[in-house]
Structure 1
C-alpha cells in the first residue's frame, strides 16, 4: 500500500520507477478506479524524447506482490482515442469515459488531476494527431482553450523564467514551477530585511543560510524521531481500522446474503398468498354458483305433497296444484351451466323431478280424461226441444274447462304424449255433441225448405183444380226433393227462398265455429310452438341442455311471432289443431240431399 507521501508524489514516483528507464517522460497522470474494481490504477500521458516524440496513453497498475513496483498494463496511440466524455461540465464531477477499442468508464480520485489530464490529453491530440481527432464532450471549454488555468499558469511562469526554443522544455519547466504562497513571500521578505548585507557580501549571506538550514535539518530530524512513535501508533490505528472495515464488510456480505434469502422467502410467500387469494375467490364463486343451483332446484315439501296428491276438484286444491306444477316446471328448466349438470346431486334431483312430474301428469291425465268424457256424455244425453232454426251454444262446456287451462299448458310443456292423448279425447267427446247438433240443425233446415215448397204447391193446385191429381203425385220444383223426382215449376222463387235459408244456416254456423276455435287456441295453447320435439321440456338433461344452448332457446314459451318461425306455419298449426274437432264432428249433410 502506498504511503501518504507516495500518493502526493505519484507522478515523480512513476517517472522515476517506470518511465525514466525507458527514456520516456510523464506529461500527466490521473488516479482512477473502475466501478467493478476498487483498487486504484493510473492513466498516464507519456512522450518519448525528441527529435521525434511519440505521445501515448497508457494504463499503469501497482504490483500485488511488491508495493513499490509498477507495471504498464495497456498502451494506446493518440489516434486510437475516439472520444472523451466528461459526463458533466461541473468541476465536481469525478466520472469520465474514454472511447478506445471499447468504452472505458473511470472514476477520478482527484478533481485537479482529472482537469489537468483532460487538458494535457487534448493539447497533445491537437498537436500530434494528423487525421480525425478525438471529440471532447461535456468538458468545460475553458480547459481546452488557450486561456485555461493551466495555460495561464504556464504563461506567468514563462515570463519569470528564461524563454527557450524547445516547447517541451517550456512545458516541463511550467509543470515543475510552483508559485510562492503569501506566507512564503512574507518569510522571504523578512529574511532579506534581516540580512541587509546580503547584497554587499553574498558569501556571508550564504554561510548564514547554510547555518540556519543546518539547524533546521537537525530540528527536523529530531522532530521526525520524536514523532516516529506517533507515526507508528497512527499506522497501527490505520491497520486496525482496515481490519475493522474488513470485518464490517464481511458482516455486510453476511447481511446481504440473509436479505437475499429473506427476499426469496417473501417472494415465495407472496406467490403463496396470491394462490390462496385465487383459491378463495374460486371458492366464493363456486359457493355462489352452488347456492344458485340449490335455490333453483329446491322444491318445498308442501309443493311435493301437492304434486303427489293433487286435489283438482276444489278451487283451492286446484290453485295449489297449479302453483306446485309451475314451480316444478321452473325447476326443471333452470338456467344451470351445462358443466354442473354432470353433478350426481343434480342428476338425482332431476330423477326426483321426473318422478313427481310423471305422477302429477298421470293424475291430471286421468282427471281431464274423465272430465272430457263426462261433459260429452252429459250434454249428449240432453234432448233437443228447440224447433227454431238455430245451432245450440256450448259455452257452458268452455266455462267448465276454463279453470283447467293452466294445467293443459303445463301438460303441453312437460308431457307431450299426455297432451296429445287429451286432445284426442276432447275431440272425440265434443265431436259427438257437434255431430248431433249439426245433423239436427241441417235436418231442421231441410224440413223448413220442404214445408215451404209444399205450401207453394198447394197454392198452385187450388188455381188449377183440373190438374189436382197430377200435382199430388208428381213433385214440383227442384229443392227439397231427390233428383229423380224433379218436376216442372218455378225454380227462381225456390232459389231465392233457398238462398235466404242458406244464409241463415251459415250465420248460425260461423259464430259457433269461431267460438270453438278461440277456446281451443287458448285452452290447448295452439298459438305457441313447442321449443323441442322431446316429450318433456327440461334443461336438466345434459343432451337437452346442449341442444338448447346450440339452438339459443332459453324461454319456456315463445311469442306467436317468434323470430325465425314463419307466420304461415303458425297459422297452419293453429287452424289444423283448433278445427280438427270441428271438422271431425261436422256431418256430411247437405240441404240438397
Structure 2
C-alpha cells in the first residue's frame, strides 16, 4: 500500500500540485476484470478544492488519470451497509456511478474521508445514506462543537503555528497560574488607560494655540483688503483716461483703412476696366487674313474677356463710369469678329483630290486643314463663352465644313463599287480589303477625334460639368466621350451602313465568310487596343464593336443553320451500302476551313463553342440512324471510326472529349456488329449452348444438364455432326464475303473487323469446349475441328483475299 501511495503521489499528483488523502481499489459493479483506483485529492494552494480522481494502470504499470470530478458536484453517497456489510457503494454526480470495493476497510476509510471533506469544504451539502458509522461520527462531532465552528475552521499556516508556539513559550510560567495571569493583564490595561487620558489632556493646549493663530491670520487678511481698495480708488481716473485714448486711436485707424481701400478700388477699376486702342480696333475690324492679325484678334479677345470677367462690387454698379465701360465692352463683344469668322469658313470649302484617293482605298489626310484650323481654337472658345448663340452657329458651321471634306465617304465612285464586287468573289481578297479599310480608318478617326476635342474644347466642357468635389476618374468613359461620338457620327454618317452592307455581301457570297470577317474584326480590335502609339478612337471603337456583334450574330446563324440541314440529310434508305454520311463530310469541311481561318487568330472562344456544338449535333444525328431499317451498327462503326481518326489528325483541344466519345462508340458498335454476325457460321450450335448456359443459370447442376431431353448427349452429337470442318470453313468464307460487302473500302476496316471476328470466334469455341468438359464429362464428345484448324481457316481466308 505504501508503495502504491508513493507511486501515485510521485507520478500523478505531485506534478499537478495535488495532495493525496485516500485511495480505494474498485471496479464497476458486474465488471470485475476492469480494476481502477479512486483517489481523493486536494489542491496544495489556496483556495483548496477537493476532487475525486479515477486512476488506471496500463500494461507498463504506468498510472494515468482516466476521469476527474469536483466534490462540489457530488450530491449523494449511498454506502449500502445499513443492515449488513457490503462492498458496493454508489456516488451520485450528474449520473450515478456504481462501484464495488476490493476490501471493506478501504471502503470505510474512503467514505469517512468523503464525510470529513463534506463538513470541512462543502458545508455538509452532500447527503450520506446507508452509512451508520459516518452518522455516529457526525453526532459525536456535533456535541463537541457547533456546525458554525466546523465550517469556519481552517488549518493554521506554518507561520501562524510558529507564532503561537513562541507566544506560549513566552507566557508559559504565567499561563500555569491563570489567576496571576489575569491580574497581570488587568494591571497592564489600567496603565494603558491612564496614558491615553494624559495624551488627550495634553492635546487641548495645542488646539487652543491653533485657534489663536487662525484669528491672527483673518485680521491680517482684512488689513490687506482695505489697502487694495484704496489703491483701486486711486487708479479709477487713470482707467477712464486710457479708455478715451483707445477710442481715438481706433477712429484714426479706421479712417486710414478706408482711404487705402478706396485708392485700391480706384486703381482696380482704372486698370482692369480699360481696353487699349489696338485691341478695340482688332475687335471692330475682325481681320483674319494673316497669322499676325489672327494673333492680334486672339489677344484682343483675351483682353476683352478679362475686362468682362471682372467682378464688380454691388456698390459700384450705380457708378455712371462703370456702366458706360460695361456698355462699351458689350458693343465690342457684338462686333464683326463673328461675321469674319463665318466668312472664313465659307471661303475655305475646296476639297482637292479626295475622290481620287478614295478610289484607291486610301483615306485622305486632313492634317493641313487641322493645322490651319487649330490656330482659331481660342477664338472658338471666346465666341462660345461670350455669346452662346454665336458659339452654336459657329459649331454647326464647322460641322458643315467638316462634312463637306468627307463627302467622299457618302458618294463612292463606280470604280470602287466594281472593284468591290470583283474582290468579294474570293474570301482572301475580301479579308485583305477589310483589313485595309480598318487600317485606314484607325488613324483617320483618331486624328479627327483629337481635332474635334481640341477645337471644340469638349474635354474642357466635360471637366466643367463635373463637380469640383468629385475626383476626375469618377465619370464613366462613355459619358465623357458622348459629345465627341455624336459629332463623329454626324461626320462619318455613312461609315457604319457601308460596313454593314459589306458584311451582308460577304454572307451572301459564301456561307462561311462570316468566319473570316469575325477573325479580321477581332484582330483589328485587339491590335487597336494594344497599340502603344495612341489611344484608340472612342467612335471607331463603338463602330467596330457594333460590327463585331453583327459578325458574331452572323456566325451564330451559320452554326444554327448547319444542324437544320443535317436533320434533313438523316434519311438513309433500306438498301444503303454504308460509307461516310454527308453531314460527317460537311463537318470535316467546316472544321478544316475554320481551323485554316482561325490559325492566325488571337482568340478562338466562339469557334471552340461552335465546334463542340456541331460535333454534338453530328453524334446526335448518327444516333437517329438506329431508328431506320439499315445496318446501323456497321454505319455507326464506320462513321465514328472516321470521326475519331479525323479528330486525332487535327488535335483540337476543345474536341478532346468528343474524340474519346467517338472512340468509345466505335468500339461499342464494332462489338455489336461482331456479335450480330458471329453466330451465323455455327448458328444451331450457338443456340444449343445458349440453352445449356440458360439451364445452368436457372440453378440446374452442370452434371445434370445432360439428363434433360433437349440437351442430352444424343442431341449434342446431332448438332455437332451438322458442322464438320469443311462446313465451318465454307461458313467462314461466306461471312468474310458478307463483311467485305458491307464495309466501306475507304475506311479500311476489313482487317480490323476480321481480326476481331477471329478472336471472338476462338473465344466462343473455347467456351463451347469448356461447357462440353463440364456438363458432358466422360462422354467423349468433341467437335469435328480443333483450335489449330480454326487458325488455319482464318489465315487461308485472309491470304486468299489479299
Q: Do they superpose with TM above 0.5?
A: no
Identify, as 1 or 2, the structure richer in helix.
Answer: 2
**TM-score normalised to structure 2 length:** 0.31
> Of the two, which has the highest radius of gyration?
1
Identify the structure with bigger relative contact order (alpha carbons < 8 Å, sequence gap 6+): 1
The two structures have a TM-score, normalised by structure 1, of 0.40
